[in-house]
Amino acid sequence: MKKIEINSSFFTRNRKNLAALMKSDSCAVINSNDIMPSNADGSMKFIQNSDLFYLTGIEQEETVLLLNPSAKKDDMKEILFIRDYNPELEVWEGKKYSPEEASRVSGIQTVLGLSRFEDMLHDLMCKYENVYLNTNDHDRAANIVETRDLRFIARLRNRYPIHNYFRLSPLIYSLRAIKSPEEVELLQKACDLTGKGFNRILKFVKPGVWEYEIEAEFAHEFISRGSKYADYEPIIASGESSCFLHYISNDKQCNDGDVLLIDLAAGWGNYNADMTRTIPVNGKFTKRQKDVYNAVLRAMKGTIAEMKPGKTAIDIHMVTKELLAKELVDLKLVKPEDVKDLNKKSSAFKKYYPHEVSHFLGLAVHDVGGFDEPLKPGMVLTCEPGIYIREEKIGIRIENDILITENGNLDLMKSIPVEAEEIESIMNNR
């Protein structure tokens, strides 16, 4: 995969913005993720902690960032600790960051070996009362596995029990929620690559293909361009499987007359796109499939029109529910009284539209951001309404990625085919 470098000025600015939110006379410690074990002596591919990446750009395990904004000397305000040089490890894993390289990538002047961390930390703990520590406070995070940050927090609180500890996450999340122009550019690139993959498979899908063959087509398009899948498992779901929200086995044959729901996207430079398209396997929607498709598309367009500064993600979800309530009645799936009270957890919605319409997008696919906070320019959210009719084997979801702007929004996926006729036309002209 291509190494996509972001200018170090981005990470320097993020640290500066974070330091401005910290109390005076305080320090902060942010740890990398672990390399997660699989089985026997195996391990998963390393995924960096998004907060540490946002502040340093360093993609290496056993990395620690120490922020000490009140330091008298400039070169002590930010200190990055990386793995000490280990020639034996190099034989197996290749080159790790040298201090010079880590400094160039992150813009941090002082880069030291990790063996220096404990002593320097102790000096700061003797000096400050207030310490910020990092936790994964995403409201849907399962947090079953103890992270490096959590192990560090337990150790620190044990050793220094009467310091004041503060959560770093609200400060970092408030910054990460607003995307800078560099981040928007990376997200746009991820969306554009996703579109290339989608145009490719529109010319490939036909009755008899297997879902995993479609996955391989996307992989070819992404990987040959130095990209990769976004950070979630691709969903390629034909027929009845289109109604299973987290279907990821992708192991069925696509049958004539079925719909095919594709929820997958490319990533670029650690930033994730998130797209869903639903297409007819044989290149032509049936009348019923098209009616449901256009109902979802109208709901998506109506929702996007309301995604603007001041509205909250919860407001947006209510807009979609209102739009889909009307569509579900028109499609004769429910009676008006079934969807009268949108606030109620109605069984009609539970059955035909069981999820929400939007989530924040960025370094994480379900990125940080407050669902009850007013949207601001620079936020990026998905818009992904759906209608799932299991008894008819029709699951339709359409998902675009939307940047909130001063006056409204910009659809980062506006050039990816979405009209039913456009999709049919591309599928039939190959």
Residues with a known catalytic role: 41, 246, 263, 274, 355, 359, 366, 384, 388, 397, 399
**Among 232, 244, 286, 309, contact with ligand GLY (rule: CB under 6 A):** 232
Residue window 170-199: x/- pattern of binding to ligand GLY, with contact defined by CB under 6 A: ------------------------------
Q: Comparing C-alpha atoms, which of 390, 396, 398, 402 is closest to residue 417?
A: 398
**Tokens 């640290």 belong to which residue?**
15
Residue window 23-62: x/- pattern of binding to ligand GLY, with contact defined by CB under 6 A: ----------------------------------------
Kindly report the backbone phi and psi dihedral angles of residue 276, in degrees, each rounded to the nearest multiple of 5, phi listed first.
-130, 135
Q: How far is the CB of 100 from ligand GLY (least distance, A)?
A: 39
Task: Compute how many residues bind ligand GLY; rule: CB under 6 A.
Answer: 7
Range list of H helices, 68-168: 87-93, 99-106, 117-127, 148-159
Q: What is the dihedral angle through the alpha carbons of 127, 28, 133, 20, rounded to the nearest 10 degrees?
A: 120
**3-class secondary-structure state, position 414:** coil
Kindly state whether residue 274 participates in binding ligand GLY, applying the rule CB under 6 A.
Answer: yes
Residue among 282 and 409 whose Cβ is closer to Mn ion: 409
Residue among 221 and 263 whose Cβ is closer to Mn ion: 263
Q: Cα(272)–Cα(324) distance, rounded to whole angstroms?
A: 27
Q: How far is the CB of 264 from ligand GLY (least distance, A)?
A: 7
Residue among 18 and 193 whose Cβ is closer to Mn ion: 193
Residue among 57 and 369 whose Cβ is closer to Mn ion: 369
Is residue 243 a contact partner of residue 378, using CB atoms and an 8 Å limit?
Answer: no
Residue 371 binding: pick among Mn ion, ligand GLY, none (C-beta 5-8 Å cut-off by kind): none
**Which whole-number Å values give the CA distances from 370 to 173, 179, 275, in the listed order?**
9, 14, 21
**Among 78, 217, 221, 263, contact with ligand GLY (rule: CB under 6 A):** 263
Q: How far is the CB of 408 from ligand GLY (least distance, A)?
A: 22
**Among 274, 327, 401, 424, contact with Mn ion (rule: CB under 5 A):** 274
Task: Compute how many residues bind Mn ion; rule: CB under 5 A.
Answer: 5
Q: How far is the CB of 274 from ligand GLY (least distance, A)?
A: 5
Residue among 82 and 398 whose Cβ is closer to Mn ion: 398
Q: Comparing C-alpha atoms, which of 241, 311, 310 is closest to residue 278?
A: 241
Segment (H or E) for 319: helix 313-330
Is residue 188 a contact partner of residue 214, using CB atoms and an 8 Å limit?
Answer: no
Kindly state whether residue 401 participates in binding Mn ion, applying the rule CB under 5 A.
Answer: no
Q: Cα(406)–Cα(102) distance, rounded to whole angstroms?
A: 36
Q: Comparing C-alpha atoms, which of 247, 260, 246 is closest to residue 366?
A: 246
Burial class (CB in 10 A: 0-12, 13-18, 19+), 371: middle
- Amino acid found at 287: K
Structure tokens at 70: 């009140």
Residues 351-410 that bind ligand GLY (CB under 6 A): 359, 365, 384, 399
Task: Name the percent of the chain in helix, strand, coil, to the closest 5.
Answer: 40, 15, 45
**Among 382, 403, 411, 417, contact with Mn ion (rule: CB under 5 A):** 382
**Among 34, 263, 367, 424, contact with Mn ion (rule: CB under 5 A):** 263
Q: How far is the CB of 157 from ligand GLY (least distance, A)?
A: 35
Q: How far is the CB of 124 from Mn ion (least distance, A)?
A: 40
Kindly state whether residue 258 participates in binding ligand GLY, applying the rule CB under 6 A.
Answer: no
Segment (H or E) for 27: strand 26-31
Q: How far is the CB of 379 from ligand GLY (least distance, A)?
A: 16
User: Which residues sit at the interface with ligand GLY, rule CB under 6 A?
Assistant: 232, 263, 274, 359, 365, 384, 399
User: Which residues sit at the interface with Mn ion, rule CB under 5 A?
Assistant: 263, 274, 276, 382, 399
